[in-house]
A and B are shown apart, each in its own frame.
Chain A
Amino acid sequence: MSTPKTLYDKIWNDHLVSENEDGTSIIYIDRHLVHEVTSPQAFEGLKIANRSVRKPNFTLATADHNIPTTNRDEGISDPESKLQVDTLEENCKEHAITFLSMSDKRQGIVHIIGPEQGFTQPGMTIVCGDSHTSTHGAFGALAWGIGTSEVEHVLATQTLVQTKAKNMQINIQGELPLGVTAKDIVLKIIQTIGTAGGTGYVIEYTGDAIKSLTMEGRMTVCNMSIEAGARAGLISPDEKTIEYLKGRPFSPAENEYQSASDYWLSLASDDGAAYDKTVNIDASDIIPQVTWGTSPEDVVSIDGLVPNPEDESDETKKKSMIRALEYMGLVPNTPLKEVKVDKVFIGSCTNGRIEDLRAASKIAKDRKVADHVNAIIVPGSGLVKQQAEEEGLDKIFIESGFEWREPGCSMCLAMNADKLKPQERCASTSNRNFEGRQGRGGRTHLMSPAMAAAAAINGKLSDSREI
């Protein structure tokens, strides 16, 4: 019998084009997602070297980072943003790449539309010039973020030169308590292993609590693998994966679906497969989590206190805690539930899917956003928006006092007009609480959609289970 293999081993082996003399390998890339921010210089590089795109039809492009979430019919008013989006459109036209424009209802955040369109499938290698490409790992696809030079490399060759990473298993055992979500799991993981804990690894998430998540919840977990330092996160494909992909526009056709499904199921990690490292976390211990600082590892439970740097023995850590608390305008030992918020952002590739909006709407229904709070909902794609409107979620949000926006990356990275002013505090369902991430001087607290909605209603950080 052959040695038991992990999901990562199997995908790696199935994509090995050749091994170079220097120990690196050429890995085939099945699908490539492209957006406006990290691609113009790659296309320019192709032009300079007189190279073409090897597989235009394995490539899908859209604009998401730069686009407005209001008054779409007026186009993009910022001339730089407009130039970037127009440049992408022209490059796609020139190289015969499918481009979902701002007016296409399928447009949205790359990591939302990939799975939604069935472009993302188990066993694939998927890359994008965006670190949250790890999202697609929820399907058992090996998916990772790359820089622009590698975007150019993939466009020209449909391959990348890689060295195999180490493999870490994060096992979430037991049952998740009621009202605790995928976002809380992943924040807990990042708190546990730290933002550099996954550096050099591909993480595979296993255990009953992971298996019990929906595909959307699994995407939330894999999405933030990069915040734990890992370029890719993986979950073994199962019946839920097969069910989710059935009938999507780019999913395998009916006559091929059975053989595709059989292959997908065969990719699951074998019993007894060896990992370089295993971390165990008990799901039943997790309660809703929020971040207090300026690194995604600065995580506490909602019933906790703002930590005190005096309790930290490591000098470097203590210094960065003091800096973070000053930036965040927080006093040590303050109960988290007493921290007032000014803004609420529900959306992003982490939490901009239909289930996220449903969870937020349950909290919002028949309640009002606090007077001093400005809360916005930005669906992850045009199709998510349409689905939410069919379910009447938009009405619930609007009645409650939320703004209902057009799809895009929006205030997750604040490249468009949606941003925090200095010292404004935001309850956000996005993935990064870095200094200045949501606008210069802006203060970000990361949390789940239900928790962000609860913060909007109460006007301060709150435990969504108590609403």
Chain B
Amino acid sequence: MEKFKKIESNAIPLPMVNVDTDMIIPKQFLKTIKRTGLGKNLFYELRYDEKDAPIDSFVLNQDKYKDSQILITGKNFGCGSSREHAPWSILDYGIKCIIASSFADIFYNNCFKNGILPIKLDESEVTKLQKAAENSLSFTIDLENQKIAYFDKNINHEVSFELDKAKKTSLLEGLDDIGLTLAKVNHISDFENKQKSRTPWLYSQQIK
């Protein structure tokens, strides 16, 4: 996984609540056996009409947001299915940071596995950032110092955010989770031996 670096970009405002993973990437695109190439179909049904033509009013189709790396959206973002195709499509599109007042658990977790930073803020703060995003202001996302900064009407605004320490490290260092766990393989083997004597049926009734 790539290390998470400081982001400077304007932000896409998507003031919708309960955006589900079916909305982020509809099922017809889940038939792939690759992680890449999903960006063009991100928010497919909101973004294209039934003849596959872009819907001009949808925010992703507006030129000024073409290269945005930040998405600002409503509460409970990413609810529904566990499909990791949702963060894959977001990342493939070029978005590396999502700001919302809350996220669904599985989606939130999936973001960190793909180098995407989901930031939780109070709803009132998100509303302010939405306004700034609508005016296409530029934001700086500084994960190291856990700060969002933007410049509006001659004033420098700074917003701090909270993040679990382990998740922060994993993003900043682009860690290989599996490698880290495998480094503790002795613990896993010890556990298996202990479990085998405590609940032996878990080991005797194996699938054939």
Contacts and interface: CB of A to CB of B under 8 A. Distances in A.
Interface of A: 14, 17-18, 20, 22-24, 26, 28, 30, 37-38, 40-41, 44, 49, 51, 54, 57-60, 65-66, 78, 80-81, 83-84, 87, 98, 118-119, 121, 123-124, 129-131, 145-150, 152-153, 156-159, 161, 163, 195-196, 199-200, 226, 229-231, 250-253, 256, 259-260, 263, 295, 316-317, 320, 413-415, 422, 432, 434-437, 440-441
Interface string B33-75: 1110000000001000010000000000000000000000011
Nearest to A24: B166
Contacts of B202: 30, 121, 124
A44 B88 CA distance: 15
Contacts, number: 199
B33 to A, nearest CB: 4
Contacts of B31: 37, 66, 78, 80-81, 83-84, 415
B125 to A, nearest CB: 15
A22 B181 CA distance: 13
Interface of B: 15-18, 20, 22-23, 26-28, 30-35, 45, 50, 74-76, 79-84, 87, 102-106, 109-110, 113-114, 164-166, 169, 176-182, 184-185, 187-188, 191-192, 195, 198-202, 204-208
Given A41-B35, A44-B33, A163 B50 contact: no
14 contacts: A23-B164, A28-B192, A30-B202, A49-B179, A59-B207, A131-B82, A145-B106, A148-B84, A149-B113, A229-B104, A256-B201, A414-B27, A432-B80, A436-B22
A38 B206 contact: no
Contact of A150 (B45, B113, B169, B187): B113
B107 to A, nearest CB: 8
A156 B178 contact: yes
Contacts of B45: 435-436, 440
Contact of B23 (A118, A196, A230, A434): A434
A432 B81 CA distance: 9
A413 B18 CA distance: 18
Given A57-B207, A161-B180, 7 more contacts: A41-B33, A146-B82, A148-B35, A153-B178, A195-B76, A199-B103, A252-B205
B82 A26 contact: no
B200 A295 contact: no
- The A interface is mostly helix, strand or loop, or mixed, namely loop
In this complex, the member of B34, B45, B204, B205 whose beta carbon has the largest number of chain A beta carbons within 10 angstroms is B205
Contact of B17 (A30, A87, A320, A441): A320
Q: Which 8 A-B pairs have the closest CB atoms?
A: A149-B113, A252-B201, A22-B166, A147-B84, A40-B33, A147-B110, A80-B31, A145-B82
Contact of B26 (A24, A124, A147, A436): A436
Given A51-B178, A252-B201, A26 B106 contact: no
B102 A196 contact: yes
Contact of A147 (B23, B82, B200): B82
B17 A316 contact: yes
Nearest to A260: B201
B165 A256 contact: no
A147 B106 contact: yes
